[in-house]
């Protein structure tokens, strides 16, 4: 009830309004009757005898007494059109009636209780769950002191700072990659199964099965490699230029919400203080203006009343002086009576206006005092909120400084180290698997090319020597060409797979190198490590192949020499036969050497 009384301005009450109006009417009637009677006497003077003049002269004193009584007793006991809206507009108030009502209805700020809650929440040790829930519920009283336009809940943001202080950072960070853990375990099982199948095929010696299981092993390791890279990107936010991880977003959001809610609460308090101070100043200024204007009107009325009183006294004096001459000057007396009526009406009208002005001023002062009392009540409320704002500022600043950002970064680095280790192991196995199969296929391609060259040479030699095996050489050369195309297709597929794996590595290369640099480990690219093994394998293969190549070249050279010798002998035999046919001499055919 008290808050409602303070929030609304009570218009002035006039308990004697009817009595004063009745008295004012009596005074007006009396004065009007006297004036009218005076005029009537003056107008009927010609018909009245000398016996009426004394009565007319005797009425001057009652008339002056009645006017003095009217001036002393007349009051304006009725409203003068002042209302709360008119008062607020006249004082040019910024704070609306609704805002004042809202502030007046707010409960008193429990400064000590809220300060103790904030100090308890800002402690280093975690509070028992029951005590924390009780403090959180008690802190909700701050919400009643926030404006209706508040977007964020100040109690909620303050308790969020406490909650995040005691959050398991490692669990939160690991939870971001937890959804990929089943896939990771599944892919590890697939890699192990593929590795067992590959080792079993190597033990049996089945070349086709070895190649098939080798490809399956490469595909499984590539899938595992891609998953490891995805987990690293999830932790380091490299997918869409995000933050370090999602938990850092929670830390930043908690800090921003707390600072925004506190800033909005503080700005609202300061804005209300400024508006209320400005309204108080404007109220006092308006009151001084009204009092100054009222004083000016009062001085003007006093001067006017003095002048009218002087004029009325003059008329009364003239009336007395003229009574002896009224018998001859009835018309002049009548005019004076009418003028007396006009002056009397002017005096009564001026008195009514003056009394209305005085009542209006009192009405304004009454409502002005109520409004100032409301403003002072609101200012007292805001001053009571100031310690809570200061304590909340200290709490937010302290809790923001203690946000576990550094610990979170350390946990992310530790988990990143583990994931990078798993990724490098998977990538190394992938590179070695692809490289081993590529070496085998390269050796196979070299062997097929050497066999194709030898078969091509045998085919050419068979064409020159009309060897009946020429068709077999052609079929064999066709089969070798098909095998070479198949091997080249496998090599192209391996190159594409290796390129895809290298692309996966490049996506996380920065994170991998930073991790090796941070842990003071020497980074050796798996391709560099496998390159040494590749050089050794190719060197051994080339040395081993050169023996076969040199033997094949010697055989080819011998065959070419024999063919040339046979061509020469055939030409010589043709010449001898030609000479024999001509009858020159009888030739002796040369024996053909055997071809190995």
Whether 591 shows a pLDDT value over 50: the answer reads no
Output phi, psi for 445, to 5 deg: -65, -40
The pLDDT score that the predictor gives to residue 581 is 57
What percent of the chain clears pLDDT 90, i.e. is strictly above it?
Answer: 10
Helix pair 405-465, 207-236: axis angle to 10 deg = 150
Per-residue tokens: 504 = 């996966």
Nearest to 493 by CA among 441, 425, 432: 441
* Residues ≥6 apart with Cβ < 8 Å to 577: 587
Of 16-30, 148-162, 312-326, give the range with the top mean pLDDT.
16-30
Q: In which band, very low, low, confident or very high, does the pLDDT at 241 lie, cut at 50, 70 and 90?
A: very low
Over 50: is that where the pLDDT of 87 sits?
Answer: yes
pLDDT in tens, 6-20: 678 888 888 888 998
Q: How confident is the model at residue 333 (pLDDT cuts 50, 70, 90)?
A: confident
Contact predicate 580/587, CB 8 Å: yes
Backbone angles phi, psi at 278, to 5 degrees: -65, -40
- Average pLDDT, stretch 380-400? 89
Residue 595: per-residue pLDDT: 35
> Which residues are CB-neighbours of 410 under 8 A, at least 6 positions away?
none
Average pLDDT along the chain: 80
* pLDDT (mean) for 122-141: 84
Q: Does the pLDDT of residue 300 top 90, yes or no?
A: yes
Residue 153 contacts residue 143 (beta carbons within 8 Å): yes
Rounded distance, CA 447 to CA 456, Å? 14
- Cα–chain-centroid distance for residue 151? 12
Higher pLDDT, 394 or 173: 394
pLDDT at 585: 44
- The mean pLDDT of 39-66, rounded to a whole number, is 74
pLDDT digits (tens, 9 = 90+) for 557-572: 565 566 566 566 666 6
Band of residue 590 on the pLDDT scale cut at 50, 70, 90: very low
In whole angstroms, give the CA distance from residue 239 to residue 237.
6
Q: Which CATH class is domain 407-582?
A: mainly alpha
Q: What is the pLDDT of residue 529?
A: 73
The pLDDT confidence band at residue 281, using thresholds 50, 70 and 90, is very high
If one compares 185 and 550, the residue with the highest pLDDT of the two is 185
CB burial readout 133-154, b (16+ within 10 A) else e:
eebbeebebbeebbeeeeebbb
In terms of Cα–Cα distance, which of 64, 31, 35 is closest to 317? 64
Tell me: pLDDT of 544 over 60: no
* Domain segments of the chain as ranges: 407-582
* DSSP letter string, 287-306: HHHHHHHHHHHHHHHHHHHH
């Amino acid at each position: 009830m008290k808050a409602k009384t303070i929030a609304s301005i009570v218009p002035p009450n006039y308990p004697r309004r009817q009595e004063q109006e009745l008295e004012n009417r009596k005074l007006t009637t009396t004065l009007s009757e006297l004036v009218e009677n005076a005029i009537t006497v003056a107008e009927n003077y010609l018909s009245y005898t000398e016996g009426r003049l004394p009565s007319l002269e005797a009425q001057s004193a009652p008339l002056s007494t009645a006017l003095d009584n009217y001036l002393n007793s007349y009051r304006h006991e009725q409203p003068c059109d002042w209302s709360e809206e008119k008062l607020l507009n006249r004082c040019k108030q910024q704070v609306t009636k609704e805002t004042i009502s809202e502030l007046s209805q707010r409960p008193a700020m429990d400064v000590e209780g809220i300060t103790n809650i904030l100090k308890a929440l800002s402690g280093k040790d975690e509070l028992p769950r029951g005590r924390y829930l009780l403090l959180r519920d008690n802190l909700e009283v701050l919400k009643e002191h926030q404006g209706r336009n508040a977007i964020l809940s100040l109690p909620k943001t303050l308790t969020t700072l406490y909650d995040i202080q005691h959050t398991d950072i490692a669990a939160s960070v690991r939870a971001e990659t937890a959804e990929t853990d089943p896939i990771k375990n599944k892919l590890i099982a697939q890699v192990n199964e593929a590795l067992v199948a590959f080792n079993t095929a190597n033990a049996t010696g089945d070349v086709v099965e070895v190649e098939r299981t080798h490809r399956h092993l490469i595909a499984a390791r590539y899938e595992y490699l891609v998953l490891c890279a995805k987990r690293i990107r999830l932790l380091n936010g490299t997918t869409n230029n995000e933050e370090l991880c999602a938990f850092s977003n929670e830390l930043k959001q908690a800090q921003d919400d707390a600072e925004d809610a506190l800033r909005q609460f503080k700005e609202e308090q300061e804005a209300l203080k400024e508006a209320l101070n400005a309204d108080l100043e404007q109220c006092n200024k308006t009151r001084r203006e009204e009092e100054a204007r009222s004083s000016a009107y009062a001085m003007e009325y006093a001067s006017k009343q003095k002048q009218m009183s002087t004029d009325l006294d003059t008329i009364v004096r003239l009336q007395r002086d003229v009574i002896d001459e009224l018998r001859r000057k009835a018309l002049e007396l009548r005019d004076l009576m009418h003028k007396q009526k006009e002056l009397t009406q002017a005096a009564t009208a001026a008195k009514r206006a003056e009394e209305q002005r005085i009542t209006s001023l009192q009405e304004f002062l009454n409502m002005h005092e109520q409004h100032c009392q409301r403003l002072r009540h609101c200012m007292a409320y805001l001053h009571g909120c100031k310690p809570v704002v200061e304590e909340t500022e200290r709490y937010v600043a302290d809790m923001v400084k203690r946000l576990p950002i550094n610990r979170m970064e350390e946990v992310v680095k530790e988990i990143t180290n583990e994931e990078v280790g798993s990724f490098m192991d998977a990538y190394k196995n992938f590179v070695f698997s692809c490289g081993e199969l590529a070496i085998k296929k390269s050796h196979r391609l070299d062997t097929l090319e050497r066999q194709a060259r030898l078969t091509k040479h045998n085919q050419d030699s068979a064409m020159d020597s009309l060897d009946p095996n020429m068709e077999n050489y052609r079929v064999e050369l066709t089969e070798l060409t098909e095998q070479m195309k198949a091997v080249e297709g496998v090599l192209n597929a391996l190159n594409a797979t290796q390129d895809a794996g290298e692309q996966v590595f490049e996506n996380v290369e920065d994170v991998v190198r930073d991790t090796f640099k941070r842990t003071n480990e020497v980074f050796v690219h798996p391709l560099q490590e496998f390159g040494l093994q590749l050089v050794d394998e190719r060197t051994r293969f080339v040395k081993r192949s050169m023996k076969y190549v040199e033997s094949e070249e010697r055989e080819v050279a011998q065959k070419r020499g024999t063919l040339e010798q046979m061509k020469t002998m055939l030409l010589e035999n043709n010449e001898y036969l030609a000479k024999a046919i001509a009858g020159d001499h009888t030739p002796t055919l040369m024996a053909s050497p055997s071809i190995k």
